[in-house]
Amino acid sequence: MAIQSVGVVGAGQMGNGIAHVFALAGYNVLMTDISQDALDKAMKLVAKNLDRQVKGEKITEAEKDAALGRIATTLTLTDLGKCDLIIEAATEKEAVKSKIFEELLPHLKPETILTSNTSSISITRLASRTDRPEKFMGFHFMNPVPIMQLVELIRGIATDEETYNTLLEVVENIGKTAATAEDFPAFIVNRILIPMINEAVYTLYEGVGSVKSIDQSMKLGANWPMGPLELGDFIGLDTCLAIMNVLHDGLADTKYRPCPLLVKYVEAGWLGRKSGRGFYDYSGETPVPTR
């Protein structure tokens, strides 16, 4: 089927980026959130990021205006029922995601494709709670969405070939590259990346190195653009912990045990950049290591 309209559930960090790239690619986007404030902030951020692309001569002023004109917002989740494709980008909690799909189901067109931007939760399990498991897929964007080139496409056990091919074409249309992943805990990127961040936290926890020396070692010794602890702060330490728990529970292997220090930071509300403090303190002009 031809996708023309896209519904985005959640106007946070991922949702507004997804709305941005789809609108820029010519799709009509309807974005929803539970808060008008979140929707207003998202629209301001999309405009700011489009402005940045204009300044960098990636797009024209006319393309920016056209993209903004294609994004509408609503506080009513069920308004998204008329869309051809729905991308759920709400918080990384399975119960919340399931409730969203449950509320949407009676309002969907028969041909609407449902997807989740989850970074780790079972697509098969989410799909099984809907009336269309064959039209359900994982559609995992990387952060920040307008910049990062990869989209992980995750098939549930029931996903049909038509749905997969349709989304493959959509990824191409928005100028991204698809990597196909099987539906196992954390898929490809986070299956590899998050345990690396967790191991960096263990390295700190065991006193092998300080925050500065760990990040510096990986930036200069492994050519990482960002150190693992800095990256953990950027992703959100609560998200890192949630993914480690999914890996630990889903694969039952002790190598995926979340570091106690990571757990402690999350318990303290030190979640990284979004809370102003994580492995770095972001209250000043320059981030300062907290350990």
- Asked whether residue 35 falls in the same domain as residue 161, the answer is yes
Number of domains in the chain: 2
- Asked whether residue 164 falls in the same domain as residue 26, the answer is yes
Output the six-digit token pair for 197: 């961040």
Q: Write the CB contacts of 180 (distance below 8 Å, at least 6 apart in sequence).
A: 152, 153, 154, 155, 164
Q: Quick one: pLDDT at residue 119?
A: 87
**Residue 111 among the catalytic residues:** no
- Asked whether residue 95 falls in the same domain as residue 216, the answer is no
Known binding residue 143? Answer is: yes
Q: Quick one: pLDDT at residue 58?
A: 94
Known binding residue 219? Answer is: no
Contacts 24+ apart (CB under 8 A), 77-80: 77/9, 77/32, 77/103, 77/104, 78/103, 78/104, 78/106, 78/107, 79/30, 79/32, 80/7, 80/9, 80/30, 80/32, 80/104, 80/107
- Asked whether residue 150 falls in the same domain as residue 168, the answer is yes
Domain of residue 43, CATH code? 3.40.50.720
- Asked whether residue 55 falls in the same domain as residue 166, the answer is yes
The DSSP bridge partners found for residue 5 are: 28
Q: Quick one: pLDDT at residue 120?
A: 84
- Asked whether residue 178 falls in the same domain as residue 256, the answer is no
Picking from 163, 182, 201, the residue at the C-terminal end of a domain is 182
Look-up: residue for tokens 């006193």? 207
**Residue 119 among the catalytic residues:** yes
Range of the domain at 261: 191-289
Catalytic pick from 16, 122, 140, 248?
140
Known binding residue 36? Answer is: no
Instruction: Provide DSSP, 10-67.
Output: --SHHHHHHHHHHHHTT-EEEEE-S-HHHHHHHHHHHHHHHHHHHHTTSS-HHHHHHH
**Residue 152 among the catalytic residues:** yes
- Asked whether residue 253 falls in the same domain as residue 137, the answer is no
Known binding residue 10? Answer is: yes
- Asked whether residue 114 falls in the same domain as residue 16, the answer is yes
- Asked whether residue 93 falls in the same domain as residue 221, the answer is no
Known binding residue 1? Answer is: no
Q: Quick one: pLDDT at residue 4?
A: 96
Catalytic pick from 5, 152, 198, 248?
152
- Asked whether residue 207 falls in the same domain as residue 148, the answer is no
Known binding residue 196? Answer is: no
**Residue 107 among the catalytic residues:** no
- Asked whether residue 171 falls in the same domain as residue 252, the answer is no
Per-residue pLDDT of the chain (291 residues; tens, 9 = 90+): 689 999 999 999 899 999 999 999 999 999 999 999 999 999 999 999 999 999 999 999 999 999 999 999 999 999 999 999 999 999 888 999 999 999 999 999 999 999 999 988 999 999 999 999 999 999 999 989 999 999 999 999 999 999 999 999 999 999 999 999 999 999 999 999 999 999 999 999 999 999 999 999 999 999 999 999 999 999 999 999 999 999 999 999 999 999 999 999 999 999 999 999 999 999 999 999 999
Known binding residue 4? Answer is: no
pTM (predicted TM-score): 0.90
Catalytic pick from 20, 190, 198, 248?
190
Picking from 182, 202, 237, the residue at the C-terminal end of a domain is 182
Known binding residue 134? Answer is: no
Catalytic pick from 119, 120, 122, 198?
119
